[in-house]
Every structure is written in C-alpha cells, then in structure tokens.
Chain A
Amino acid sequence: MTVTSYVFGVASAVIGLGVVVELLRRRHLRERHAIWWLIAGVLALIAGVFPTTLTWAASLIGITVPINLVFFVSIAILFFVCLQHSSELTALESKTRTLAERLAILELRLAQSDGASESESTTDE
C-alpha cells in the first residue's frame, strides 16, 4: 500500500464521517436515521487508519480477498438503510391516513354544527 492510497482511504472515511456528524449537529438528520451511516463511517475510518484490522477480520471469517469484506459490509449497510426507509415510509403513510380520516370527520362535524346553528338562528327570527 502506497502512502497516497493510505491517505486517500483515511481522508474519505474522515469526510464521510464528518458530513454525518455535521448533519446531526445541525439537526438535519435524526439520530435514529444516522445510526447506520455512523457505523459505516466509523468502520471505514478504522479500516482506513489500520488496514491490518481489515486483513485480520477477513481471515477471521475465511474471506481470502479482504476487499470482498468491504463490499459485503457496504452492501449490507445500504440494505439496512433502504429497509429502514421503507419501514419509516410505511409508518408515515399510516400516520397520513389517520390524519386524513380525522380531518374528514372534523370537517363533517364542523359542517353539522354550522348547519345546526344556522337552522337555530332561522327559527329564532
């Protein structure tokens, strides 16, 4: 491994992690959405700073070419992020549905009480 590629790896990990932390700091990202990105960033940083940990982890689970472990973990993390988004989308849809239902009922109630007060005022006259 050349010095350039070492610096490139570490810098990429630091930039990735920095963006996540900055978004969290400014409340552009909620913690529960950031957790996978934080894990990915920390892992990338560890593997970038200490490349031997990657080789060690790969041999530990029997992967011959360490880079394959990187691909596997990356895809796994992206998979979980997608799944979390689908799940959040379902929750949001369910909330939107409930809000729409409540709105329909409240509008009907409002129209009914308007109608009732109107007919009251006409009988008063």
Chain B
Amino acid sequence: MPAFNEEASVGGVVREVLEKLPGIHVLVVDDGSRDHTGVAAREAGALVATLPFNLGVGGAMRVGFIYAREGGYANVIQVDADGQHDPSGIPSLLDELNRADLVLGARFAGEGDYTVRGPRQWAMVVLGQILSRSSRTRLTDTTSGFRASGPRAVALFAEHYPAEYLGDTIEALVIASRSGLVIRQVPVSMRPRAGGVPSHNPFKAAAYLGRASMALLFAYVRPPSTYAVRSGS
C-alpha cells in the first residue's frame, strides 16, 4: 500500500483490509510523507517501510515487490491508501490470479458508480485499446492502481517497476505484456476519494494525454534487454 501524506485515511484502510482479510500481511510504504502516515499505519497494525524522500508510486511499489520477493510472499496486492479501493474486491482479484500473472481491478467494468468524463475519459479509452491489443485481453481501466501480481509479476516488478509518473501504471502493463505475462481484469467497485475532486481542466487533460502517450511510446520501443530478469535470484 503506497502512501504519501495519507495520515487521515491510511489507518482506516489498513484496519479494514486486516478485518476483511484475516491472515493477510499489510505493508505500507510511506513514500517520504511529511505527516504521520507511518505512525498511523503502524498503529493500525501494518508493517511500515519508510522511504527517506518522495519517490512516487513507482518507487514505493518496487519496495513492496522487493520485500515480497525477499520475504517469500507469492502474491502482492496494491491498494491505494486513500480509501478509494474497496478491500472486499481483493478476493476476486486473488481468485483471478490462479489464471493470470497480473490482475487489474477495473473501475468501469460494470460494478460501482465511478465515472470520468471528457478528454480524460477519451485518453483512458485510447490507452485501454492499445494496451488491450498488446496484452491480448480486454482492458478498460489501465491506470487503475488496484491490482494483484502473481509470482512471475513480482519477480519482474521487483527489478523493473518504473518510477516515472504514469509509468507505474501504463509502463508496468507494457513491461508485463512484453515479458509474456498473462494480464486480466476483474470488475471492482470504487468509492469516491476521501478528499480532492478529479480535475476537469482541459489543459491538464491534454498534458495527461501527452505524458501518457510518451510513456506508452517509449515503453514499446525500449530494447527488450531493459526488462531482462536476472536469473538465480
């Protein structure tokens, strides 16, 4: 669970996950927060890894994947610390992991009432179509941060989880599909974010589309050796 300045919500999310899924281990990666995110998470019963400065979601996630690889955990589930992801969706993600290496919890696949409109939606549709084609499965919500990784994905991501903005969601999918991992999506319901409203500023949407296209383009043209997983580890 990557967390950056989420002291208000992280404790509640950790408690909810531990309550709904007993036996699971929760690792909160405090991504250089300036508030008491780490303390709140620890009090709620999570393990807390603290980054010395903010690395972005990608850096926080790679800490999680490395910790999983070295601690012998088979599966990793990423949940946002802001309470947007409903932990009751985790069992369906885990179940789909039996048939796939990487499972996305998709917001628009029928369940829940989460909607996005305007240019941002078009961007997400285009991204979804391109990524669906390369991963040979139907993906509608490629920027979802609610995802489950199986053993092969954990081994890959522990070394190559991208740090760039949007890289953590889009490029990670390209890395996974180019490495031959099986990607699936399952519908999950999302809750409105505890704080903050999604932006509908057209300039921001355009910038988002531009950066997403860049991330996507370079993810595809990168030499395959960039994603090689060292064997024997």
Contact = CB atoms under 8 A, between A and B. Distances in A.
Contact of A104 (B50, B70, B163): B50
B51 interface: yes
Contacts of A94: 163
Contacts of B48: 108
A104 B49 contact: yes
Q: Give the interface residue-count category, chain B.
A: 10 to 19
Contact count band on A? 10 to 19
A107 B25 CA distance: 18
A123 to B, nearest CB: 21
B55 A97 contact: yes
A105 B66 contact: yes
A108 B55 contact: no
Contact of B50 (A97, A107, A112): A107
B53 A101 contact: no
Given A104-B29, A105-B66, A105-B70, A97 B163 contact: yes
B85 interface: no
A104 B52 contact: yes
A91 interface: no
A100 interface: yes
B50 A101 contact: no
Contacts of B50: 104, 107-108
Contacts of A112: 47
Contacts of A57: none
A47 to B, nearest CB: 39
B214 to A, nearest CB: 15
B105 interface: no
A101 B53 CA distance: 10
A100 B63 CA distance: 9
A101 B48 CA distance: 13
A63 interface: no
B47 A104 contact: no
A49 interface: no
Contacts of A29: none
B59 interface: yes
A103 interface: yes
A100 B47 contact: no
Interface string B63-105: 1001100100000000000000000000000000000000000
In the A-B complex, the 10 residue pairs with the smallest Cβ-Cβ separation, listed nearest first, are A104-B49, A108-B49, A101-B63, A104-B51, A104-B63, A100-B51, A100-B52, A97-B59, A101-B62, A105-B67
8 contacts: A94-B163, A97-B163, A100-B53, A100-B59, A101-B55, A104-B50, A104-B63, A108-B50
Given A100-B59, A101-B66, A108-B49, 17 more contacts: A97-B55, A97-B59, A100-B51, A100-B55, A101-B51, A101-B62, A103-B51, A104-B29, A104-B49, A104-B50, A104-B51, A104-B52, A105-B63, A105-B66, A105-B67, A108-B48, A112-B47
